[in-house]
Chain A
Amino acid sequence: DSGVTQTPKHLITATGQRVTLRCSPRSGDLSVYWYQQSLDQGLQFLIQYYNGEERAKGNILERFSAQQFPDLHSELNLSSLELGDSALYFCASSEDLGETQYFGPGTRLLVL
């Protein structure tokens, strides 16, 4: 158990819908990262937050957004969902910038 929690574990929804994925980092970790893992794209970095502020953006679509709250938990919002958004979404956290990232168990999203 990495200490990073993600909810829900599984999510099934329809195209055009909007979902929110939630992540709680390890105790004491200030940085949160979101990744998408799909069979064709592999593991792709989406976005990073540090102590509530956005620090880096990767291959995140405009339909996706995220934020980190004062208690350091983070949410990833996915809207106007398409079939291709079906993937495993990971949250990871690290104590500080550049430190080892510990991953949560992931949220499996299936868009039908």
Chain B
Amino acid sequence: AQKITQTQPGMFVQEKEAVTLDCTYDTSDPSYGLFWYKQPSSGEMIFLIYQGSYDQQNATEGRYSLNFQKARKSANLVISASQLGDSAMYFCAMRAGRLAFGKGNQVVVIP
């Protein structure tokens, strides 16, 4: 069975600072994908970044990067130069067959 763990409490982040959101996962499947989604207060789920289990390099997409440590089964999201619009819930998800989501991390960016 797949398990995604996001245990950080809600975070306040200063604008322009970087923030790291933790995600650990558990699966026995050697082939899997890791995703991060953003859910602002308006409710939509926005795809941010993807990392495949066989990818050698960490994924990056603009200000988002995924710190993938396979041996530790962690896939942390790093948001650089935080902006007010980054305030949202962030969900880590893993696909090994079906897509399973963690409980989310709340981020509030303050000016």
Partner of B99, one of A42, A101, A105, A108: A101
Looking at chain A's contact residues, the main secondary structure is strand
A84 within 8 A of B: no
> Once the chains bind, are A33 and B99 in contact (CB under 8 Å)?
yes
Bound CA span A98–B104, Å = 22
Q: In which size bucket is the chain B interface?
A: 10 to 19
> Once the chains bind, are A45 and B44 in contact (CB under 8 Å)?
no
List chain B residues, Cβ under 8 A from A102: 47
A74 within 8 A of B: no
| A positions within 8 Å CB-CB of B | 2, 33, 42-43, 45, 48, 56, 58, 88, 90, 92, 98, 100-106, 108
**Can you name 15 extra interface pairs (CB under 8 A) apart from A43-B101, A48-B98, A105-B43?**
A2-B44, A2-B46, A2-B47, A33-B99, A42-B101, A45-B100, A56-B97, A58-B98, A90-B45, A92-B45, A98-B33, A101-B35, A101-B47, A102-B47, A104-B44
Considering the complex of A and B, which 10 residue pairs feature the smallest CB-CB distances, nearest first?
A103-B45, A43-B101, A105-B44, A106-B43, A42-B103, A45-B98, A56-B98, A100-B50, A102-B47, A100-B47
A-B contact list, 26 entries, CB within 8 Å = A2-B44, A2-B46, A2-B47, A33-B99, A42-B101, A42-B104, A43-B91, A45-B99, A45-B100, A48-B98, A56-B97, A56-B98, A88-B43, A90-B45, A98-B33, A98-B95, A100-B35, A100-B47, A101-B35, A102-B47, A103-B44, A103-B46, A104-B44, A105-B44, A106-B43, A106-B45
| B positions within 8 Å CB-CB of A | 33, 35, 37, 43-47, 50, 91, 95, 97-104
